[in-house]
Structure 1
């Protein structure tokens, strides 16, 4: 079953609590720490383009990459008055027209790359497409986050939309699967039901650090969720900031 097909149309209604402006503020805090100005930014797994749009409005030259054509269609509509380049590509094989000053990948999108070898390739592609001195910034859920989610059922709804999803974590495979049922209200008062299935891989911080090191990155630093301090042992989301010399 494909991911982010049916869900794409309703994604923004289900993620109204994400706080993309706060994420953009955090991204810019890391940009300001660089020794070089950041003008061009590529966002991997951009989804419906909410963060892309905010950064574009703040003056960055944005390239938005995502594997889902349905999500990119929504993003293109959202950014129709902005100069954003959209690319429908796999992050393990993406190609940019020219090097960029920064690459970002947010909302645990790296966990959706469920084969470690493919994530290694993605990090290598990022390194190749960064300008010297450029920054790679991304977040990831920790194994603890998936352990805590195991067996939990979640519900998001409004008057005409209901999304029910259950998380099941398999420690041996290190895969957390999400069965997602989406119910939408029809004009005749009946409800349509559609389903998707998503999977995420539980990477350890040590593995992600190793992948970055193998790709050639230096000055690799780890931060707590949307903080500028080191993560705690019980952190469920962490950020990596890696620089290309």
Structure 2
């Protein structure tokens, strides 16, 4: 499934946002880094990078990729709702709808407060979200399937409008040793309104700079499926 994800395009777009807001971080944190593809792309661009993820299995893959590419990347196995760093960073990114997986508003507020704490004065926080429109109108209560050369998947999706919760059951078939192995995954993502995100960012002490439609510098619309939010650290500047 992930071979369709435009990682390089995302990394270039994130860097363009940093340029637009005049931030060139010496140290960048990728929160919810998974197998480290985005983290590694920024390391290849010359940034000092840290990746945080809760999955030890994904971090094993990330470390192997970094070692193979001879890149010095610090990977930490931590929960993003309680992560710790040794100091501050100039920019924090979180993509691949990682923050939709935080399904409680107060837990998301904890994440935002930690981000504010670990950002340098004036540092940027850039993250993406799947939108309510995407969950309700695009994914809805539908089944999706796709076959590739050596794998296939079936995606059974359910959206609960009252709870603004998206549930999907993923069945994967992966070719291994001339046979296909079957794997089952269950995922939950929360749909957050823009008003809710604005309130949580403000409560965390972060200044909202912009909300963009996916991979553009255009304002998001009612039919946007993925949005990017740009926020800036501001409180430490006033101390």
**TM-score category, normalised to shorter length:** over 0.9
Residue 233 of structure 1 corresponds to which residue in structure 2? 222
Please tell me whether residue 157 in structure 1 is matched to residue 147 in structure 2. Answer: yes
2:21 pairs, out of 31, 34, 41, with: 34
Q: How far did residue 150 of structure 1 move?
A: 1.2
Q: How far did residue 34 of structure 1 move?
A: 2.9
RMSD (Å) for aligned C-alpha atoms:
1.3
Deviations 1:81-107 (A, max 9, x none): 111000111111011121000000001
Give unmatched runs, 5+ long, in structure 1. 1-13
In the alignment, the residues of structure 2 paired with residue 88 and residue 156 of structure 1 have an alpha-carbon distance, to the nearest angstrom, of 31
Q: How many residues align?
A: 231
Residue 173 of structure 1 corresponds to which residue in structure 2? 163
Deviations 1:159-216 (A, max 9, x none): 33222111110111211111011122343x5432221100000100111111111110
Q: Secondary structure at the match of 2:71?
A: coil
In the alignment, the residues of structure 1 paired with residue 29 and residue 23 of structure 2 have an alpha-carbon distance, to the nearest angstrom, of 16
Cα 1:121–1:191 change in 2 (3 A) is same
TM-score (norm 2): 0.92
Q: How far did residue 219 of structure 1 move?
A: 4.1
Q: How far did residue 155 of structure 1 move?
A: 2.1
In the alignment, the residues of structure 2 paired with residue 138 and residue 160 of structure 1 have an alpha-carbon distance, to the nearest angstrom, of 32
Aligned ranges 1:72-221 → 2 under 5 Å: 72-80=59-67, 81-148=70-137, 149-187=139-177, 189-221=178-210
Deviation larger for 22-31 or 149-158:
149-158
Cα 1:160–1:111 change in 2 (3 A) is same
Q: Secondary structure at the match of 2:3?
A: coil
Please tell me whether residue 61 in structure 1 is matched to residue 48 in structure 2. Answer: yes
In the alignment, the residues of structure 2 paired with residue 109 and residue 35 of structure 1 have an alpha-carbon distance, to the nearest angstrom, of 25
Which portions of structure 1, spanning 4 or more consecutive aligned residues, are displaced by more than 4 angstroms?
none
In the alignment, the residues of structure 1 paired with residue 150 and residue 25 of structure 2 have an alpha-carbon distance, to the nearest angstrom, of 42
Give unmatched runs, 5+ long, in structure 2. 235-239
| Contact 2:198/2:208 (<8 A) preserved | no
TM-score (norm 1): 0.90
